[in-house]
Amino acid sequence: MHYPEQIRLQFPLLVRNPELAWLDNAATTQKPAQVIDAIRMLYESDNANINRGLYDIAVRATAGYESVRKVVAEFIGAGEGNIVYTSGTTGGVNMVARCYLQPKLKAGSEVLISAMEHHANLIPWQIACKNSGASLRVIPIDEDGVLNMGEFRNMLSANTAMVAVTHVSNTLGTVNPVEEIIELAHSVGARVLVDAAQSIAHYPIDVSEMNADFLAFSAHKMFGPTGIGVLYGKEEVLSEMEPPNYGGDMIRTVSYQDCTLADIPRRLEAGTPHVAGVFGLGEAIGFIQHLDRTAVRESLHDLTTYATEQLLGVNGVTLIGRAPSKSSILSFTAPGVHPHDMATVLGTRQIAVRAGHHCTQPLMNHFGISGTTRASISIYNTRDEIDRLVSGVRDAINFFS
Quick one: 189 and 240 in the same domain?
yes
Per-residue pLDDT tens for 337-383? 999 999 999 999 999 999 999 999 999 999 999 999 999 999 999 99
Burial class (CB in 10 A: 0-12, 13-18, 19+), 144: middle
99 is catalytic: no
Helices (H), 138-253: 149-155, 178-187, 207-210, 235-238
CATH assignment at residue 224: 3.40.640.10
Quick one: 315 and 278 in the same domain?
no
Residue 71 CB: number of other CB atoms within 10 A?
Answer: 18
pLDDT of residue 296: 93
**Enclosing domain of residue 268:** 35-289
Domain boundary (260, 289, 318) is at: 289
Per-residue pLDDT tens for 78-107? 999 999 999 999 999 999 999 999 999 999
Instruction: Look at the alpha carbons of 328, 334, 340, 342 in this order and tell me if their dihedral is positive or negative.
Output: negative
Selecting among 99, 129, 259, 359, the annotated active-site residue is: 359
Domain boundary (236, 266, 289) is at: 289
Judge contact between 13 and 33, C-beta under 8 A: no
Mean pLDDT of the chain: 97
Quick one: 269 and 324 in the same domain?
no
Helices (H), 202-251: 207-210, 235-238
Dist CA 286 CA 325 (whole Å): 27
